Amino acid sequence: MATVSAQVNLTTYGRLVDGAFTRVQDCQTAERFMARRAYGLFSKVMHYAPFLQAVGVERVILTTACLANFEGEWFVYTSIKSPGNNQFIGDVFVRSPERQVVAMMSGVRFVQLDKVKLGKFLGAANASVSWPQQPPDTAAMSTAELPMISDTESSPMTATTAVTTPPEEKYRNPEIVIKELISNYTGLDPADIPADAVLIDLGIDSLSLMEFSDELNAAFESSISTVGLGQTSVENLTEMVRQKSPWDSRLTNGSDKIIHHNEPVSPIDSGIPSVVLQTKLNGVVGHEGDKTAATRDPVEALLEVDGQSQDAANRNGYIAYESNVLPVQNFLVQAYILEAFEAMGVPVLSLPSGTVIHPIKHLPKHSKLVARLWEILQTYGVVFIQASIVVRGRETPEFGSAAEAYETFVSRFPAYLPEAKLMKLTGENLAPILKGEQDPQSLMFGSSASFKIMEVYYANSPMVSTSTDQLITLVMILLRGHNMHHKSDKRVPRILEVGAGTGGTTLRLAHAIEAARIPCQYTFTDDKLVKFSWINYDTIDLEEETRAEHRNRYDIVIGTNCVHATSSRVETCRRLRDCMTDDGVVILSERTQPLAWFDITFGLLDEWWVAENGAEYPLQPASKWMEVLQEAGFSRTSFTRGVGSEASLQQLLVGSKSARIG
C-alpha cells in the first residue's frame, strides 16, 4: 500500500542513510550500473534459474516533495539481506537533489519462484505478444536447442562489381538509426518497429531512457532532452532529430549511392571500411574457409587456420599494415605525446637540440607509462635518453597538429577509423590523465559514447577482426572434431570465454555456432549477449583460484587480449588449465609485438602494467608465450604464423592439456 502523508517526517531516516549515500558516491571502486548492464543481469530472471521476482512491499512512504515536477538527479539507495528460506528483504530510500530523503519503501520482499509456473502465468498475460520460445530448464547448464539459421556466404569483390557505399552514420536516414538504437535496448528487429510506436511502449523505460538519450544525442550531435521522451513516437523523434541536429541538411532519406568499379576494390584505398566490416556491424557471419575441416588436435587445426590467414587479412583490410599504415599512425602517436607534454609545461619541439629536458610532473603510478612515452619519442630521434636523463634530439617531425595528423590518418586509411577514434579519445586527454585530472577507466568505458568507441574497435579493427576470423575458424574446426569423436554418446562440447570485454569476439563466434547448428554449452563472463538463450553467464576472476564448479569442465577455453593484463601469466594460464577437461584446449588471442599506439590507449589503464607484478612489459612474442604455457603445465603448445610481418602482431596461442588427444 502507498501512502502520501504530510505528517510523515523522514528526517530521522535521512540521518541514518546519509552516510551510506555518501560512501557509495565517493567509493572509487563502485561500478556504474548502466541500463544495458542492468537489463543484462535482469534477463536472468526470465531465462535462467534460480531467479528472483518481487512479491510484496510492506510499506511505501512518500512526501509531497515527490509530487513536484522537478528535473535533476534523484538518488536511490537500497539495502537487501536474506533471512533464509529462498527469501530476500530490503529497504529503499530516495533522496532529492537537495539531499533530503523524500520517500521510503520498507520490507521489499523477494522470493525464489518456479520458472515453469511463472512462465505459464506470464505467458497468459502476454498472449498478444510473440516472444521466442525458451526450452524449460532441466539443469543449471543444460544443452539448449540452437535455432536454425542459414549460413550466409559472401564472395570477394571482383571486376565490374556494384558496391553499395555505406554512408557515414550521421548522414544516414535518422529513422533507421533511431530504430537501430531502439533495437539495441529492446532486442526488437528494427524492421518490426512501427513509426507511430512510442518509446515507452517499445520497452525504453525510465531506467534506460537517460542512456538512450545520451546515445541518440551522440549519434546526431543533437541536444534532445529526456523530458517527455518516453512518450515520443519514433516518427516524432525522427522529426525532432532533423530539427535539432546540426547535420539536418545532410541527413539522407535512406537512398545510398551505387558506384560501379571496373577494378578490384581495396578496403584500404577505396574509402569504404570494407563490406565485411559492415556485415559484422549487422551481426552477419563472414567467411570461415573450409567448413568441413574437423579435428580435435589443436596443432593440426592451426595448420588449417594458417592456410586461411591471408584470406582473413584480405577480407578485413589488414593489408600492408606495417609498411603503409603504421608509419602514418605513428605520426599521430607522436603528435598526441608532444601536445600532452607541452600542455604539461614541456614544449619539446621548441627546445634546441642537445637541451636537457626537465622531468614532467605526473602521478607516480604513471611512471612506467611516461618512461615508455619518452622511449617512443627516442625511436624517432625527437629525444635521446642517457641513463635517466632525457635530451632533445635532432629530429623535428613535420606533421602539424594532432588534429591535422588525425585527419591525414583517417583520410588515407578509412578502414582504420576504429583505431583512430580510440586514439583520439585517449590522445586528446593524455595530459589530464598523466596529471590525475582524468580517470582513464571512466574515459574509455564510463559513458555510452566512449564504450561505443571501444565496442566498434573490438568489432571492426582490421587487426582484431582478422584475429577473430582466425579464432572462429579454429574453434569451429575443433567443435566439428569434438562432435565426430562423440557421435555415439552425443556429449556436447563446453566452451568457456574469460575476460570477455565488449563481447565483440563472442558475438561473431556465437553467430557462427548458430549458423553451423552445432549444439554446445557456452559460458561467457559478461552479460552483454542476452539475446542468445543458450549462453550461460558467470564471473571468473583470473587472479583467484578456480572455483570447484569450473574445474575439469570445459573442452575449449578462450581468452582475448586479457591474460597479459594479469599479475602472473603462468599462474593465470594454470588456472585456465584447471578449468579444462583432460582433452581440453586453451586458445588465447594476444597482441604479441609492442606498437606505440597501444601505449597511448591501453597503456593508460593500470592493468596494462601489472604483468609479472610490474617487472615486464605486457606484450611478449609468441615464443615467450609458449614458455608460459609449458610452465603452466600444458603438454603441447603452438601458435599461428600466417603470412607477412603483420601476422606476428596479434596471434592465436594454443595449449592442450594432454600430450595426445584421445
DSSP string, 95-121: E-TTS-EEEEEEEEEEEE--HHHHHHH
**CATH architecture designation of domain 167-250:** Orthogonal Bundle (1.10)
Taking alpha carbons only, the member of 591, 617, 596 closest to residue 326 is: 596
Q: State how far the Cα of 187 lies from the Cα of 204, in Å rounded to an integer.
A: 11
Give 358's pLDDT tier (boundaries 50, 70, 90): very high
pLDDT digits (tens, 9 = 90+) for 473-500: 999 999 999 988 888 888 999 999 998 6
Q: Which of 249-258, 364-373, 498-507 has the lowest mean pLDDT?
A: 249-258
HEC string of 450-509 equals: HHHHHHHHHHHCHHHHHHHHHHHHHHHHHHHHHHHHCCCCCCCCEEEEECCCCCHHHHHH
Q: What is the CATH number of domain 2-125?
A: 3.10.129
Q: State how far the Cα of 288 lies from the Cα of 311, in Å rounded to an integer.
A: 10
The size of the chain, in residues, is 662
**The pTM is what?**
0.61
Pairing between β-strand 52-62 and β-strand 2-4 as defined by DSSP bridges: parallel
**Which pLDDT value is given to residue 322?**
94
The helix (run of H) or strand (run of E) holding residue 590 is: strand 580-591
Alpha helices in 392-461 (DSSP H): 402-412, 417-427, 430-435, 440-445, 448-460
Q: First vs last Cα of the chain: how many Å apart?
A: 64
For residues 580 and 555, is the Cβ–Cβ distance under 8 A? yes
Span 434-455, average pLDDT: 92
Residue linked to cell 563481447: 503
Q: State how far the Cα of 475 lies from the Cα of 509, in Å rounded to an integer.
A: 8
Residue bearing the bigger pLDDT, 273 or 490:
490
Q: State how far the Cα of 255 lies from the Cα of 244, in Å rounded to an integer.
A: 22
What's the grid cell of residue 223? 541536444
Give 48's pLDDT tier (boundaries 50, 70, 90): very low
Q: Residue 410, SS3? A: helix
**Which pLDDT value is given to residue 485?**
86
**Which pLDDT value is given to residue 32?**
52
Span 243-260, average pLDDT: 45
Identity (one letter) of the amino acid at 481? Answer: G
Are both 167-250 and 283-662 of the same fold? no
Span 216-222, average pLDDT: 81
Q: State how far the Cα of 175 lies from the Cα of 191, in Å rounded to an integer.
A: 11
Pairing between β-strand 521-524 and β-strand 389-392 as defined by DSSP bridges: unpaired
DSSP letter at 568?
A: -
Q: State how far the Cα of 520 lies from the Cα of 476, in Å rounded to an integer.
A: 11
Q: Which of 111-115, 186-190, 614-618 has the lowest mean pLDDT?
A: 111-115
- Residue 172 has a CB neighbour count (10 Å cut-off) of 19
pLDDT digits (tens, 9 = 90+) for 17-36: 777 767 766 665 555 555 45
**CATH architecture designation of domain 283-662:** 3-Layer(aba) Sandwich (3.40)
Give 117's pLDDT tier (boundaries 50, 70, 90): very low
For residues 570 and 329, is the Cβ–Cβ distance under 8 A? no
Percent of the chain whose pLDDT exceeds 70: 71
Give 4's pLDDT tier (boundaries 50, 70, 90): very low
**Which pLDDT value is given to residue 111?**
56
Contacts of 308 (CB under 8 A, 6+ apart): 289, 290, 470, 473
Give 613's pLDDT tier (boundaries 50, 70, 90): confident
CA 516 to chain centre: 24
Buried b (16+ CB within 10 A) or exposed e, 362-387: beeebeebbebbbebbeeeebbbeee
pLDDT digits (tens, 9 = 90+) for 388-431: 899 999 999 988 899 999 999 999 999 999 999 999 999 999 99
Alpha helices in 221-322 (DSSP H): 234-244, 275-281, 298-307, 309-315
- Residue 54 has a CB neighbour count (10 Å cut-off) of 11
Q: State how far the Cα of 137 lies from the Cα of 482, in Å rounded to an integer.
A: 24
pLDDT digits (tens, 9 = 90+) for 628-659: 999 999 999 999 998 788 899 999 999 999 87
Beta strands in 512-574, from DSSP E residues, in sequence order:
521-524, 535-537, 554-560
Pairing between β-strand 87-95 and β-strand 258-261 as defined by DSSP bridges: unpaired
What's the grid cell of residue 625? 608465450
Domains of the chain: which residue ranges?
2-125, 167-250, 283-662
- Residue 117 has a CB neighbour count (10 Å cut-off) of 9
**Which pLDDT value is given to residue 396?**
94
Taking alpha carbons only, the member of 537, 535, 533, 536 closest to residue 135 is: 533
